Amino acid sequence: MTTSFALRRATSKDLAAMAEADGRAFGVHYTDSDLQEIESVLDPDRFWLAVDTDDAIVGVTGAFDLHVTVPGGAVLPMPGVTWVSVALTHRRRGVLRALLTEQHREFVEQGHALCGLTASEGAIYGRFGYGPTTANRSVEIDRRRAVLRADLPDTGGVRQAGTEEVRELAPELHRRWAAGVPGAVHRGPAQWTPQLADHEHRRGGATALFHLVHPDGYASYRRLHSERAAVVTEVVATTAQAHRELWRALLAMDLVETVRCRALALDDPLPLLLTDPRQVRTTGLHDGMWTRALDVPALLSARRYGIEIDAVLDVGDPFLDRGGRFRLRGGPDGATCEPTTAPADVRVDATALGPLVLGGQRTRPLAGAGLLTADDPALLHRIDLAFLTDRLPVHGTEF
């Protein structure tokens, strides 16, 4: 079946209809106050619409103006693709592909090195060159049996704080945290507003947020009385001490049997703080942020590398045709990357490049999946060591 639709940029007049389209796709009825918030955080200039012959919306894609930290500490602008939906009546007729083609053409024109998204389903975005880059696990902790090791000094410094105080303190703490974490998405007003608005329909039957603050971090949680549980929504700590003391406080909640957290990094030290690491029980694993390279030389030269590396990468990018051969010369102090006609040492699929650059995938699984190949195993090992990061990337903010 052919369907005619046209693409156009959104305007502020489209916001209510866009919200309706989004609500239908995700099963949400937005209230008037939701709409007011949407108007305050969405920039319609960054949205593309597919419209039918009556100018009714049949597809939407947008982008937040985000920034992300890459290994070594550089912070790059990163469009965060969001609000993607196509009307039930127009699915599987190429509307999404047309919208993403236009949107990504514009990202390239704007000179971005990479873009990112958090995906509703895992099968959608690989074909557009995105690969899963950060991962989280859901954990459940039997609070009464989770005891911090006796040799860890209780250095205190944690106190409870109300939302208004957290509104003041958290952005600076989050900035400090994001500066040191690969993959961290820096929050602007468009991310803080919904975060602290704490809408009832996003609480899953639990209370509004409670907060703990420390000079070097903060944590937020809810109580779910029906299950005698506490649900930790985030722990942001810029030092090991803040991380430990925030968790000490979170695990001190009498009347709570279970502490849950949906977004624990896979290398979070929490289990190792406990006398019994097994008390941090994994109940789910999820991909977090997906990324794709838009400008390979700009992206590869922005990060630092664990060891000196000199290699020619051949990047395959059927969706955007931003691939080709590039010579990377990098090390702990900096890197250059330029197009070259020299023969390739390594072939990399576009879906592997974003995850590799941000430290979210190592070469062995990528090679095992046929997404990265090198004729010389010793070079593959050097590439692994060069791209390895001292901690796994964490995006930290859904968008």
Identity of the residue, 48 or 177, whose beta carbon is nearer to ligand ACO in the bound complex: 48
Q: Indicate the helix (H) or strand (E) that contains 65.
A: strand 57-69
Instruction: By CB under 6 A, tell whether 7 contacts ligand ACO.
Output: no
**Residue 187 to residues 10, 74, 252, Cα–Cα distance (Å):** 24, 16, 29
Instruction: By CB under 6 A, tell whether 82 contacts ligand ACO.
Output: yes
Provide the H-helix boundaries in the chain.
Answer: 15-26, 32-41, 95-109, 163-179, 189-197, 240-250, 270-273, 296-302, 350-358, 363-368, 377-387
The b-or-e profile of 366-375 (16+ CB within 10 A means b, else e) is bbeeebbebe
Nearest approach, Cβ of residue 398 and ligand ACO (Å): 10
Identity of the residue, 7 or 249, whose beta carbon is nearer to ligand ACO in the bound complex: 7
The binder of ligand ACO chosen from 23, 44, 94, 188 (CB under 6 A): 94
Instruction: By CB under 6 A, tell whether 85 contacts ligand ACO.
Output: yes
- 399 has catalytic annotation: yes
- 326 has catalytic annotation: no
Pairing of strands 258-265, 229-237: parallel
Report the first-to-last Cα separation within the chain, whole angstroms: 33
Instruction: By CB under 6 A, tell whether 123 contacts ligand ACO.
Output: yes
9 is in an annotated binding site: no
Of the residues 47, 64, 125, 326, only one is catalytic, namely: 125
**Residues binding ligand ACO: what is the number (CB under 6 A)?**
21
Instruction: By CB under 6 A, tell whether 96 contacts ligand ACO.
Output: yes
Instruction: By CB under 6 A, tell whether 270 contacts ligand ACO.
Output: no
The binder of ligand ACO chosen from 117, 170, 358, 386 (CB under 6 A): 117
Contact flags string 57-76 toward ligand ACO, x per CB under 6 A: --------------------
Selection from 113, 142, 116 nearest residue 131 by Cα = 116
List, in order, residues 6 or more apart from 185 with CB less than 8 Å away: 66, 67, 68, 78, 80, 116, 178, 191, 289, 395, 396, 397, 399
Identity of the residue, 136 or 363, whose beta carbon is nearer to ligand ACO in the bound complex: 136
Structure tokens, 233:
């929504």
Give residues in contact with ligand ACO (CB under 6 A). Answer: 25, 81-86, 91-97, 117, 119-121, 123-124, 127
Question: Which residues are marked as active site?
Answer: 125, 399
Task: Write out the binding residues for acetyl-CoA.
Answer: 84-86, 92-97, 120-121
